Amino acid sequence: MEWCLKQPKIELHAHLNGSVRNSTLLELAKVQGEKGVVVFADVEHVIMKNDRSLVECFKMFDLIHVLTTDHETVTRITREVIEDFAAENIVYVELRTTPKRNEAKGMTKRSYMEAVIDGLRSVDTVDVSFIPSDLNRENSSRYFASNDNGITRRRIFVRLLLSIDRRESTAAAMDTVQLALELRSLGVVGIDLSGNPLVGNWDTFLQPLLFAKDKGLPITLHCGEYL
């Protein structure tokens, strides 16, 4: 395990909400429990369960959506997720997330993604390169960077994929594709179709995905799409 941790690695399939620390989820659940949004005793075992079935995995994602509803929390979990990847010597990660709306919190799909980007910018344990041009910066080593004080730190390259949830409508999926195109200069590299494979209809997403393809946005599909 020590040898594995020392090796530089790449992560090509990371979900933001699927990578949140259990300790953070428990903390957020307690806060929401005090507000009456959830019953902490009912969700604690859901968070701490290790061997989940597919159905239980999507129940977990539903719970995380309830717990991560404001911009500050989205920024926090993004920062922590990147810190955790960097601690495992991940040097490149493709991080996908579904842009969310929450009118009660004044959250739009764009402001959600801005909160994610704020999280990337707030990491201070490692140098985070998420702008595409960063790949071409001249350095003594691609995986290390020097700050203004000449101190060398490890670097992690992060690229973002915007996920279309299978529960979404065609219009909502198209909104996500448009947003991905607008945020290309800030590290968005593609579109992801994800969510419960037992929900939704393929025809709902065909038009937005073809539009993304026509605009040169790479597309990733989860294995459930082939069932």
Token look-up 């960077």 returns: 145
Give the angle subtended at the CA of 123 by the CAs of 71 and 155, to the nearest 5°: 140
Residue that has been written with the tokens 């993004």 in this structure:
78
In the residue annotation, 225 being an active-site residue is answered as yes
Rounded distance between C-alpha atoms, residue 188 and residue 200, angstroms: 25
Catalytic residue among 27, 34, 72, 225: 225
| Closest CA relative to residue 92, chosen from 14, 148, 186, 173 | 14
| Positions marked catalytic | 225
